Amino acid sequence: MQSDRKVKFSNLFALCDPGLTQVALGAKNACEAGSVRPPELDGIHIISLTAGNQLNYTYNPHPRFRFGRAIYGLNFCNITVIYTHPGWNDEIQATTFLPMENWNGRFQGNGGGGWVTGGIEVGGITMMPSLEAGFAVSTTDGGHSSKLDDASGDGMSWAFTSPGNINWPLFLDFSHVALHVMAMIGKALTKAFYSTPPKYSYFYGGSTGGRQAYMLAQRYPNDFDGILGFFMDEKSVYPRPCEFEAITAAAMKACDGLDIVEDGIISMPSRCFFNASTLVGHAFDCGGKDALFTPEAAEAANAAWNGPRSLTGEFQWYGYGRDAKMWQFGALHTSCDGEGEKCAPVRLSIAEAYARYFVAKNANLDLQALGHSQWDDLFVASRNEYESITGTSDPDLRRFRKAGGKLLSWHGMADQIIPVNGTVDYTDKVLKKDPKAHDYFRMFLAPCADHSISNGLAPRNTLSALVEWVEKGIAPVTLRVEGLNAYGKPMTRDICMYPQVQHYVGGDPAWPSSFACV
């Protein structure tokens, strides 16, 4: 299908596969501002455009991206467009890299992470492997810092126009507007440089980028072809990480065999109802020392698994999987002194920044001092004020379907930041509204995979699978995952398209042939 609006792609991180077929198209115009002009867009004023050749470039991913790799010898045209929305007082940078040769006819927009809309430090982990594979690629800073160190919420000066007053234009830019403009600018520059538009356009995003992808599918279907968890504060008791690790290990042991085979994977979490309170008073090993499970740790673990509830018990959101390593980072992350006697919570600063700046509108608010009813007030305020702006819960994807889009998504079942059942709930609602939604939207659940995807069984061929679906009509039924199970044993699986699940049929559980999708 000849289209520049072909697909939307969301996942909670996957790595690009450079083994994609290339059509070997080269640049038709010089890499200079006079040859590649930005499009004229309603409501957009172009402040500047700079262009220059980048030869023999070496990309080194940020050290915090443990799953990234260095890429050498890249030759591309680097175009930076700075623009503003007149009256918004914003200044946004959109960056596009265009291969000097061997362009494969494809364009890829890239998402961000945390409070970062995009940019090279964050978006480079998906941009640069695709650039190497011949894609034209774009990213945007959304009008504020794109440094990875600011993704967690440390650099939030952009959030206010003055104390207590939200910078609504920049918040809209971050939420979705800048991504939409990035797509229009990036594709226009691609057409200008190669004298032909991209045949297929993709969006690649994980974490915040995953939210962005769902947002783009719901709000801008023609652009592309392709919780606050402060459970421990109420009692001001913060158990040691080793206790939460031992609780998770006990939950794993209790629920591992629910799918008949004990393989270090909780494959059927919907049947796992392990209660941490059953451990209270029993012994566990903490760094070579004997310790006893405490009621406070059990209560915190149960609360994290069950998800937040209001003071009167109403459901607010989903909890985390019982195999999620929340003691590493997330709702149960604590840090202790050298003796392990005095522990304190390690805050999830992304969530804290949202609560302080955008909901309470008080950068100095002491969140630890809030009571349960005050958290309930923040929850209601957040939903009322921001659901229509940043929410991605609209299950009506008819416009996306009509545009010919394909949405491929996967979520790690051990994600300790974004509860996997939120994605499951959304998928269920899409399928309820359109029982044939699998024709254009497919979601996969990756066992053991956490938010960083450096742990567990994470898909490695997702972009290739999406390209096959978009360009050849071969819809993915399974995704190949590789990695280590909870016990550190190497495994390979073919994970099933939701709502199908893996069923053990016999043989070595480390091999994909031992399972079937049912």
The answer to whether residues 157 and 266 belong to one domain is no
- Asked whether residue 310 falls in the same domain as residue 368, the answer is yes
Which entry of 145, 201, 207, 409 is annotated as an active-site residue?
Answer: 207
Would residue 207 show up in a list of annotated catalytic residues for this protein?
yes
Assigned domain for 504 exists = yes
Instruction: Say if 232 falls within a structural domain.
Output: no
Quote the CA–CA distance of 508 and 512 in Å, as a whole number.
9
Distance of CA 234 to the CA centre of its chain: 29
The stretches in the chain having pLDDT less than 70 are 1-28, 66-67, 224-237, 339-340, 452-456
Same domain assignment for residues 431 and 348: no
* Listed residues 317, 352, 386: the one ending a domain: 386
Helical residues (DSSP H) of 227-306, grouped into ranges:
241-255, 295-306
Residues 84 and 165 in one domain: yes
Query: Is position 229 within any domain?
Result: no
76/219 same-domain check? yes
> Last residue of a domain, which of 362, 386, 410?
386
pLDDT at 230: 34
Measured CA to CA, the distance from residue 471 to residue 76 in angstroms comes to 25
Q: What is the pLDDT of residues 271-310, one digit of tens each?
A: 999 999 999 999 999 988 899 999 999 999 999 999 988 8
Reported as a single tens digit per residue, the pLDDT across 364-393 is: 988 888 888 888 898 899 888 888 888 888
Question: Is the same domain home to 210 and 293?
Answer: no
Chosen domain end from 386, 402, 429: 386
Residue 189 tokens read as: 């520059």
Taking the model in full, what pTM does it have?
Answer: 0.83
User: Is 267 an annotated catalytic residue?
Assistant: no
Task: Kindly state whether residues 323 and 403 are assigned to the same domain.
Answer: no
Q: Which of 85, 144, 411, 451 is catalytic?
A: 451
**Residue 1 domain-assigned (yes or no):** no
- As for how many domains the chain has, the answer is 2
Asked whether residue 330 falls in the same domain as residue 402, the answer is no
Assess whether 325 and 416 both reside in one domain: no
Which structural domain range is residue 259 located in? 241-386
pLDDT of residue 46: 95
Question: Can you give the pLDDT at residue 13?
Answer: 28
Q: What pLDDT is stored for residue 45 in this prediction?
A: 95
Q: Which of 10, 415, 450, 452 is catalytic?
A: 415
Count other C-beta atoms under 10 Å from residue 281's C-beta: 10
In one-letter notation, the amino acid at residue 371 is: G
Check whether residue 127 and residue 13 sit in a common domain. Answer: yes
DSSP state of 454: S
77 lies in some domain: yes
pLDDT of residue 28: 62
Note whether 442 and 483 are same-domain residues.
yes
Q: Which two tokens stand for residue 235?
A: 């009692």
Q: Does some domain include residue 233?
A: no
Instruction: Please check whether residue 231 lies inside any domain of the structure.
Output: no
Q: What are phi and psi of 451, to 5 degrees?
A: -65, -30
Q: Are residues 377 and 392 in the same domain?
A: no
Residue 234 belongs to some domain of the structure: no
